[in-house]
Chain A
Amino acid sequence: MSIDQSTAARVAKLARIKVEEDALPALAAEFNTILGFIEQLNEVDVDGVEPMTSVTPQRLTRREDVVTDGGQQQKVLANAPDAREGFFAVPKVVE
């Protein structure tokens, strides 16, 4: 499996990271090095093996479906790059 520049550009887009056109060849080469390393996993016989979901056998605990927290609008907004009138502010999302 080899990653070309257009695949690298697609991955950058999916990850929402802006990568300049001239940086794509180096990025694709790095991906190929890492994926080449990962290819070793194809040597392992995984027939009938369950993919791990939890490293320690446990059932997630449940709790009453009630409100346990909240009413902290100021704290929630305290670190926002842009907050107005009690909301997070972002560039226009819909035309």
Chain B
Amino acid sequence: MTDLNTLTLADARDALRRGDTTSKALTEACLKAIDGAGALNAFVHHTPEIALERAAEADKRIAAGDAPDMCGLPIGIKDLFCTEGVPSQAASRILEGFLPQYESTITAQLKSAGAVMLGKLNMDEFAMGSSNETSVYGNAVNPWRRDGTDTQLTPGGSSGGSASAVAADLCLAATGTDTGGSIRQPAAFTGIVGIKPTYGRCSRWGVVAFASSLDQAGPMTKTVRDSAIMLGAMCGHDPKDSTSADLPVPDFEAALTGDIRGKKIGIPREYRVEGMPADIEKLWDDGAAMLRDAGAEIVDITLPHTKYALPAYYVIAPAEASSNLARYDGVRFGHRAKLDHGDGITEMYEKTRAEGFGAEVQRRVMVGTYVLSAGFYDAYYNRARKVRTLIKKDFEDVFAQGVDAILTPATPSAAFGLGEMSDADPVQMYLNDVFTVTVNMAGLPGIAVPTGLDKQGLPLGLQLIGRPWEEADLLSSAYALEQAAGFVAKPEKWW
């Protein structure tokens, strides 16, 4: 039998139900893989005792015939999710030692479905970053390398640890969160699948907030089917999140027909950006051809305000972050700076936040503070919110013309080297999210699917964007693309 940690969620579930293996065996295989993968720095808080305890419970449930899809399946949890009694520090020094007294809604749902938590995964600090280089735990490392080199590459960000762990078979799947592309970009950089559902599908309760009008959680998995299975367990109405949608959750897996005959797939001309690598352009054209061959109608579309999504995002996201992160003041939880004699409350705030926040977080909090400050609120923040209305309308217009889904590249490049962007200005790093950020601005579901390798042997992904609340249909289109692309490459083990 293949190594148990390399199984997909679907195959492991079916093996458990047939009695071919146990949750204990699956969990032990993953724990062993994690122990041997320190070089990837993906898991940053290990919870083997919790994992084995939950595996034992899951095996009892399976034996009793009470086994939801996720029952007994070992997964990793991004450090952004609060997990009761287990460190949850959003990869920030300011939450050092923080032990939540509660469980986030999503991890509680996964737990009650019987999923096994292996530990917490590395990420960019407060999910602010595209390379996992802003983490207090140090860089997470991509298991993929360029052919014939040993340069360490980024797994992307902010869900870099999740992506690295799933790609390296340290867990069967992982949770991620996506504010501007933080599920889809790392998924593309590591050759896995990641879906950001419609804003409001997954509860944000207990997930450390970055930009509340953009943040959504979602699964990061080895296949589209696995994303369908895990998303089903993560979704659902939650009265504790006022933006959580009170809508029925469809059976996403049952909807995976892969039949896209007659569907209209839009190709937005504005995404053909200047300087796009030839590999990406070819990947995109190939993807369109695959969908056409599968019976879809490929149509050119226009999303005229695309160019303004990223600058508008870099007003709105920092503005919301500056407000959300005001809670880290050294009073109620987390780090408090040592104070000098005579220091008052203001010095306590200022020193605590200077010590606790890393450079990128400080930068974004201050940019957010500036765009919200008296005299600039209208010029920056309100203008960005108006542009956001126009970006959403671009998509509404296209969907009104009968387009079912939109196909774009997931990222403007393959994974880059750790440290390679350290001399670049912040805006250069922000450009990583150019194809994904529009989807958050419009609140739509988007999925990254690996469809090819570049000339250096690194994975590349395409993104499909769907209509709001139609994740089932989007997953089915992604399934068709996955089947046609037949991407099966895995990184060669070096760690």
B218 sits at the interface (CB 8 A): no
* CB of A6 to closest CB in B, whole Å: 13
Q: A42 to B387, alpha carbons, bound, how many Å?
A: 10
Chain A contact residues, majority secondary structure = loop
Which B residues between 428 and 445 are near A, CB-CB below 8 angstroms? 430, 441-443
Q: Roughly how many angstroms separate A30 CA and B326 CA in the complex, as a whole number? A: 22
Given contacts A16-B329, A55-B442, A93-B345, whether A34 and B427 have CB atoms under 8 Å apart is yes
- Is residue B324 contacting chain A, with contact meaning CB distance below 8 A? no
B306-321 CB contact bits vs A (8 Å, 1 = yes)?
0110111011000000
Q: How far is the CA of A14 from the CA of B311 in the complex (A)?
A: 23
Cα–Cα, bound, A52→B388 (Å): 6
- What 0/1 pattern do residues 408 to 421 of B give for CB contact below 8 A with A? 00000000000000
Residues of B within 8 A of A11 (CB): 366, 369-370, 373
Tell me if A51 counts as interface (CB < 8 A to partner B): yes
Which 7 pairs, one residue from A and one from B, show the smallest C-beta to C-beta distance? A55-B443, A51-B385, A79-B333, A81-B336, A18-B350, A46-B386, A18-B354
The listed residue (A12, A31, A79) touching B98 by CB distance below 8 A is A79
Cα–Cα, bound, A61→B239 (Å): 9
Within 8 A of B (CB), among A1-53: 3, 8, 11-12, 14-19, 27, 30-31, 33-35, 37-44, 46, 49-53
Q: Which stretch, B32-40, B141-149, B268-276, B376-384, touches the partner chain A?
A: B376-384
Task: Find B101's partner among A17, A78, A93 (CB 8 Å cutoff).
Answer: A78
Whether A30 and B312, one on each chain, are in contact in the complex, defined by CB atoms closer than 8 angstroms, is: no
In the complex the two chains form, what is the Cα distance from A17 to B468 in whole Å? 39
How far is it, in angstroms, between the C-alpha of A3 and the C-alpha of B367 when the chains are bound? 11
C-alpha gap A61/B9 in the complex (Å): 36
Q: Quick check: A56 and B443 within 8 Å, CB to CB?
A: yes
**Partner pick for B390 among A30, A49, A93, CB 8 A cutoff:** A49
Q: A16-B349, A79-B101 are in contact. Are A41 and B366 (CB under 8 A)?
A: no
In the complex formed, the residue of A with least CB distance to B431 is: A37
Q: Is the CB of B200 within 8 A of A58?
A: yes
Q: What is the interface size of chain A, counting residues whose CB is below 8 A from a CB of the partner?
A: 50
Interface CB pairs A-B, < 8 A, 5: A8-B366, A16-B329, A31-B366, A55-B441, A58-B200
- Tell yes or no: B330 within 8 A of A by CB: yes
A56 x B243 contact (CB < 8 A): yes
Within 8 A of A (CB), among B35-94: none
Report A-chain residues with C-beta under 8 Å of the C-beta of B386: 44, 46, 49-52
**How far is A49 from B394 in the complex, measured between Cα atoms in Å?**
13
Q: Are A88 and B331 in contact (CB under 8 A)?
A: yes
Residues of A40-87 contacting chain B, CB below 8 A: 40-44, 46, 49-56, 58, 60-61, 63, 72, 75-76, 78-82
Give the residue of B314, B322, B441 whose beta carbon is less than 8 angstroms from that of A38.
B314
CB pair B198–A56 under 8 Å, yes or no, is: yes
Additional pairs, 14, CB under 8 Å, beyond known A35-B370, A41-B383, A81-B336: A15-B362, A16-B326, A27-B366, A30-B363, A30-B425, A37-B314, A41-B311, A50-B386, A51-B382, A52-B385, A54-B243, A79-B97, A79-B101, A88-B332
- Interfacial chain B residues near A92, Cβ < 8 Å: 344-345
Cβ contact within 8 Å between B389 and A51: yes
In-complex Cβ contact of A16 among B101, B350, B380 (8 A): B350
Q: Which residues from B are CB-within-8-Å of A39?
A: 311
B357 within 8 A of A: yes
Known: A51-B385, A55-B199, A56-B443. A91 touches B345 (CB 8 A): yes
Choose from B101, B332, B344, B430 the contact partner of A91 (Cβ within 8 Å).
B344
How far is B336's CA from A90's CA once the two chains are assembled, in angstroms? 10
Residues of A within 8 A of B456 (CB): none
Write the nearest CB–CB distance from A74 to chain B, whole angstroms.
Answer: 9
Partner of A15 from B97, B305, B322, B348 at Cβ < 8 Å: B322
B344 pairs with A33, CB closer than 8 A: no
